[in-house]
Chains A and B, each alone.
Chain A
Amino acid sequence: MTTLKNPRMRRGLGLLAGTAALALALVGCSGGDDAEPVPERDLGTPVAGEIEEGALAGASLTFAGSGGVFQDGQTEALWDPFAEASGAAFTQDAFDAGKLKAMVDAGNVSWDIVNTTQFDTARGCGTLYEEYDYDQIDTSKIPEGTITDKCMVPQILYGLVVVYNTDAFGDDPPTSAADFFDTEKYPGKRTVSQSTYVDPQTVEFALTAQGKDVAELSVDDIEGAFDMYRGLGDDVIGWTTGAQAQQQLEAGEAVMGLVWSGRGYGAAAAGAPVAPMWDEWMIMVDSNGIPKGVKDKQAAFAAVNYSLGAEQQAKMTELTSYGGVNVDAEPEMDELLTEWMTTEHLDTGISPNVDFWVENYDALAAAWAGWATGS
């Protein structure tokens, strides 16, 4: 770069630099404007799915979900009816954990309820997520064992399920996690998550195939699980988004896949010859998380409590194909949806070892990064 010889040019640049500094200072000062604390309301004893008419008039809430058909269904079945009943204004946004961290770090949280995983709320409990006051939530109808940390109320029940092509393995379908890795008995390509998003259940599935009990895991097991997938060689292909997993199954590129149950159902509903393997499947639960520093905690709790109603959950299931979290919910399901509904097969599902993964997250993250980047 040439140095500026002309001092007037220099002064001009000085002016520019000064303006820039001022602008930066202004940006630094903004934000952090504290809103008035919200007065505590008397909402009575919580009953799942109920809210007093107009009890939250004037409140405004934002739900950050995972998008697509799923969030559309939630909006229609849970949040819009809640807004109408309670008088609160309700808006929708898209969730991203990085964005949540930015909001919490900046002390300017614009989300009130987020759809995240049970591992995320467990890991970020108290730092990224608020602890629930379970006195304000009616948890009596929630399926047993699905509240896995103090910062979560379950949102949906789904699973990581082996989905296989019925044309390829009609009479003799796979019946165990071990079969997924048996390319001699079940030849053909398998698809499995290689997205950047860490999925402990993918690891647990491989360990189940090795005959390990997911309730008793050790850090040394983690690499072994990835070696199982690597051992499949050219027979393993990856999916990086749920849509891609579904597409690979529909196109017949993969004869078997370890995919989210909703995506398997999506492929089946689109006419693909696929069926779920329920003999060994990994139970997954998404959390309703409340971001740390949320402005109106009580309203957020009330919304979550409302969403847990049997009627709301039934409608949500009908619209999204994901399992509800109210044991009394009776969604109207056709034969196909019943076949794919995780809540009908909880007896053969394997629950994740949440504590273990929270404790050993760094080891999992490093191993997963290697797996997801092909090394």
Chain B
Amino acid sequence: MSEGSVTEAIAVAGAGRRRRAPENWRPLLLLVPAFVLVSLFFLAPLIDVFVRSVTDPQPGLQNYAWLVSTEANIAVVLRTFGTAIAVTAVCLLLAYPYAYLMTIVSDRTRNLMQLFIMMPLWTSILVRTLAWMVLLQDTGPINGLLAAWFGIGPVPLIRTTFGVALGMSQVLLPFMVLPLYSSMAKIDKRLLPAASNLGANPVTAFFTVYLPLSRPGIFSGGVTVFILGLGFYIIPALLGSSKETMISALIQQQISVFLMWGQGTALGVFLLLCTILILVVVSRVNKQGSLFPGVER
């Protein structure tokens, strides 16, 4: 940009917003420390990862070609997204009534409910996963009870997609409950009686009034859980079998075992691009309000 055009532009802008303009850029200075930190520890490595994916071991797109031409990779990518979607759905189904309950109970009960949600977050994921391993294994207490009471089993629980989804949902549930609760807490409770006054039965009132109003919570919770779910490593490794391997394990293998950093970084970049794409799509849908049929904005 030439010096002249800058002065010109300032003059034009200054004419429009005479009073605010001089201070306008100063607040940005507050961002400098954060920006430097993000550049150093996030952007720079990210750029490095991207560059490696197209230069290691030689320049070209061979790592991406490997990614899409290897059957195992495609299977793992599809499985990763499938698992993350399943976990998001499970979390939503469990968290929605829970968060709703939190908005109607007394303060004391709500605090207790919040404690139940937060408490698992204070325990290491590894410890919780080991506990699931004990519970779910073929010789574990759950299968023991099933055998003793119903004479069935052992039902395969560990080393199944079910086991992985269970473990992941337990870890991710708080990330669904909290945004849901915060958006539900803002909903005016009088809207529901108002709807029934106008002739809506409870089901209609829920779907036409309450659900759309709680949508911001569904979206932020859903996106958080989904994206966190994509990157899970320990739980699929311990509660799943090889048939539940997710992308993180594949990346770890390429980086730490095969020392094929080009291929590992290509997987990482691919996962990041997919995530960004999903975020863009979801935010579009969210804004236009067409996710739920019959709701027009």
Contact = CB atoms under 8 A, between A and B. Distances in A.
A253 B44 contact: no
B261 A373 contact: no
A241 B13 CA distance: 63
Interface string B53-72: 00000000000000000111
Interface SS of B by simple majority: helix
B39 interface: yes
Contact of B21 (A8, A16, A19, A198): A8
A253 B143 CA distance: 12
A181 B264 CA distance: 34
Given A7-B9, A12-B29, A365-B258, A374 B243 contact: yes
A16 B35 contact: yes
Interface stretch (B108-116, B187-195, B247-255): B247-255
Nearest to B25: A12
Contacts of A24: 39-40, 44
Contacts of B106: none
Interface SS of A by simple majority: helix
A358 interface: no
A223 B199 CA distance: 68
B6 interface: yes
Interface in A1-37: 5-9, 11-13, 15-16, 19-20, 23-24, 27
A194 B241 contact: yes
Interface string A94-114: 001111010000000000000
A371 interface: yes
Contacts, number: 128
Interface in A80-125: 96-99, 101
Given A7-B13, A373-B245, A23 B40 contact: yes
Contact of A9 (B24, B72, B75, B261): B24
B257 A97 contact: yes
A366 B257 CA distance: 12
A375 B71 CA distance: 8
A240 to B, nearest CB: 5
Given A97-B259, A373-B72, A374-B245, A6 B133 contact: no
Contacts of B44: 24, 27
A197 interface: yes
B241 A374 contact: yes
Given A23-B40, A27-B44, 4 more contacts: A20-B43, A189-B138, A247-B133, A374-B244
6 contacts: A7-B9, A9-B24, A20-B39, A370-B71, A372-B242, A375-B76
The 9 A-B residue pairs with the shortest CB-CB distance, nearest first, are: A12-B25, A374-B243, A12-B28, A196-B253, A98-B256, A20-B39, A374-B242, A8-B25, A7-B9
